[in-house]
């Protein structure tokens, strides 16, 4: 009720997300590697992978309403947008952000840990889903129900921490038929596995996966916001 005793509608609640950083760089991983891309890094993650390079995103961040966020993304003039974290799907409004970015005509990708349900992610989004290896110390968090939802426009990513991780990943691929569902990426854990060693393991075993390095780390090192 207003001061005059007249019933008034409450103002609409803003659709907000907590954002750790927004920046413009080259995509360093997955299928869009090399394209100028706006990265929207959401705050928070329920996992604690031992090789995580974005621990600074676990807690710090500012709140943005959806309209302001989309406008800031648009200001960079890039066609590609990557929504990442942390774990972006830990914030429910991430789904609305993804859909809105697609509506705006961006090529949208989502980087997710594989521990969150991807069923409600907009079908226009390219989903890059981690498969956590034993070396990550979070292999028990893999949500295998996600695998049935994968399409050829999606990718699964294995970060390989050791030869044991590589052998485990080969068996996991076979067990879940992932190569028949989407593109499979193998990446060496930064400083833990030699890129040359991983490349040689893939070739020696005739493994039909895509080898990838983190382009941004080759260019700028382990620098946040690059």
Do 57 and 83 form a contact (C-beta atoms < 8 A)?
A: no
70 Cβ contact partners less than 8 Å away, ≥ 6 residues apart: 97, 100, 101, 104
- pLDDT score of 3: 42
Whole-model pTM above 0.85? yes
Q: What is the pLDDT of residue 223?
A: 73
What confidence tier does 13 reach under pLDDT thresholds 50, 70, 90?
low
Mean pLDDT of 189-200: 95
Instruction: Give the per-residue pLDDT at 11.
Output: 43
Report which of residues 84 and 13 the model is more confident about: 84
CATH of domain 16-220: 3.20.20.70
The residues spanned by each domain of the chain are 16-220
Say if residues 168 and 136 touch (Cβ distance below 8 Å): no
Residue 47 vs residue 13, higher pLDDT: 47
pLDDT of residue 128 exceeding 70, the answer is: yes
Under 8 Å between Cβ of 103 and 63? no
User: Do the Cβ atoms of 130 and 112 come closer than 8 Å?
Assistant: yes
């Amino acid at each position: 009720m207003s001061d005059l005793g007249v019933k008034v509608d409450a103002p609409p609640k803003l659709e907000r997300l907590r954002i750790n950083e927004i920046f413009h760089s080259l995509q360093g991983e997955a299928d869009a590697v090399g394209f100028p891309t706006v990265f929207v890094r959401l705050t928070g993650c329920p996992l604690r992978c031992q090789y995580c390079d974005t621990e600074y995103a676990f807690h710090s961040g500012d709140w943005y309403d959806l309209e302001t966020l989309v406008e800031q993304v648009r200001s960079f003039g890039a066609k590609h947008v990557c929504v990442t974290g942390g774990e972006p799907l830990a914030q429910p409004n991430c789904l609305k952000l993804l859909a809105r970015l697609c509506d705006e005509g961006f090529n949208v990708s989502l980087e997710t840990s594989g521990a969150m349900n991807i069923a409600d992610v907009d079908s226009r989004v390219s989903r890059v889903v981690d498969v956590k290896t034993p070396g990550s110390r979070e292999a028990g968090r893999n949500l295998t129900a996600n695998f049935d939802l994968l399409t050829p426009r999606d990718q699964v990513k294995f970060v390989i921490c050791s030869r044991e991780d590589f052998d485990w990943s080969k068996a996991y691929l076979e067990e879940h038929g992932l190569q028949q569902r989407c593109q499979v990426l193998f990446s060496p854990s930064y400083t833990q596995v030699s890129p040359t060693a991983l490349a040689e393991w893939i070739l020696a075993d005739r493994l039909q996966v895509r080898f990838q390095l983190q382009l941004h780390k080759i260019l700028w090192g382990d620098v946040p916001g690059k």
